[in-house]
Structure 1
């Protein structure tokens, strides 16, 4: 039987206090999906359920990317009919890994979401892979281990860099910077690609022995998908 992966999308469609649409980022779902969907069973969830907002800027930015445009045109049911995240709290045992798609949306909803934190902590405590790409790793910042230590303590991680945020011209509207927050956690080593926007995928272990997979940016989506397969023994 194929392993089951819970994929989590943001429900946030606007940057608060700014008239700026946001959501999840197209290639960060399209590329991992392309890697994962034939070998795993994917369930898509979001905090609110229903349609999870796709960041319109990512559609424009990746209109020249065949995998993204194919996904956009053929798989819309995946994000238009998401299940509610809270429904999975009693069902962690049914799933083999959890994956968070990036985009700026998670910085505003999933970062603070108690259901999401409980899910991450349950997956990690059970030794199951926890993974995220780009801004997605913000979901790990407030998570803890079974003993109450930060989940990211004494791990190596990556995520959207300060330089990339500056180049995206969104630093001023962010509530915090992901790279800065990761560096504040005791023993957490933040690493990034030599060049902004280049692929960087990091696989580490939490104190509880769970595989922690993080990708830096949109270019890292497929690599995160491959790392999830490897962690599942596929």
Structure 2
């Protein structure tokens, strides 16, 4: 039986700070899905359950990317039938790993979602890999372990950089800046030499995996496979 990977998407389709639509970012699910789906069973969750909104800007931006365009055209059931995060609490033993794609949506809901924070703590306690890409690492920024230590404290972590946020002209709309927040909670933020370059960081023997941006999505999926021994 294939190991299960729990993938959590944002439920936020509208920014609270601006009249802008948002959601999860297409290649950050499509590219890891291509890597993971042949070897694992992917189970989908979101804070609210049901349809997890895709950022239509990412659909347009990656329309010439075969992986993204094929995924959007053929796999709608993946993100339109998610189950609430709450239904997975207490079930970390059923899964091999936990993964959060990015998009700006997670900055507005998953970063502070109490069920998500509890879920991450349960996977960490079970010594299962937890992974996130681009804005996805926002989900780790409020995770405090039972010991009282922050999950990211003293660990190398990446995520969407402040420079990339500026280049995307989204800085003013963000509830916080991910790079700054990672540093504020004690993480050792690292990034690619160039903006938009691929960067995947694996620490704790594969138990914590982070990717910087859309270019890092496939590599994040590959790191998850390696961490679960596939």
1:89, distance to aligned residue in structure 2 (A): 0.1
Match in the other structure for 1:196: 195
Distance 1:142 1:204 in 2: 19
| Matching of residue 175 in structure 1 with residue 169 in structure 2 | no
1:17, distance to aligned residue in structure 2 (A): 3.5
Q: How many residues align?
A: 230
Structure 1 SS opposite 2:183: helix
Distance 2:131 2:61 in 1: 24
1:51-107 Cα deviation digits (max 9, x unpaired): 000001001110110100000001000001111110000211111110001000000
Distance 1:146 1:90 in 2: 16
Distance 1:177 1:138 in 2: 9
Distance 1:135 1:17 in 2: 16
Q: Is the 8 A contact 1:92 1:123 kept in 2?
A: yes
Q: Is the 8 A contact 2:17 2:175 kept in 1?
A: no
Q: Is the 8 A contact 1:126 1:210 kept in 2?
A: no
Distance 1:177 1:17 in 2: 14
Match in the other structure for 1:56: 56
Q: Is the 8 A contact 1:127 1:210 kept in 2?
A: no
Structure 1 SS opposite 2:89: helix
Distance 2:92 2:207 in 1: 16
1:45, distance to aligned residue in structure 2 (A): 0.5
Distance 2:152 2:52 in 1: 27
Structure 1 SS opposite 2:132: strand
Q: Is the 8 A contact 1:14 1:21 kept in 2?
A: yes
Distance 1:153 1:145 in 2: 10
Structure 1 stretches of 4+ with a deviation exceeding 3 A read none
Q: Is the 8 A contact 1:127 1:211 kept in 2?
A: yes
What's the TM-score once normalised by structure 1's chain length?
0.96
Match in the other structure for 1:221: 217
Match in the other structure for 1:103: 103
| Matching of residue 132 in structure 1 with residue 120 in structure 2 | no
Distance 2:92 2:225 in 1: 18
Alpha carbon RMSD of aligned pairs, Å? 1.0
Distance 1:171 1:84 in 2: 29
Structure 1 unaligned regions, length at least 5: none
Distance 2:73 2:81 in 1: 15
Match in the other structure for 1:165: 165
Distance 2:148 2:89 in 1: 19
Q: Is the 8 A contact 1:125 1:146 kept in 2?
A: no
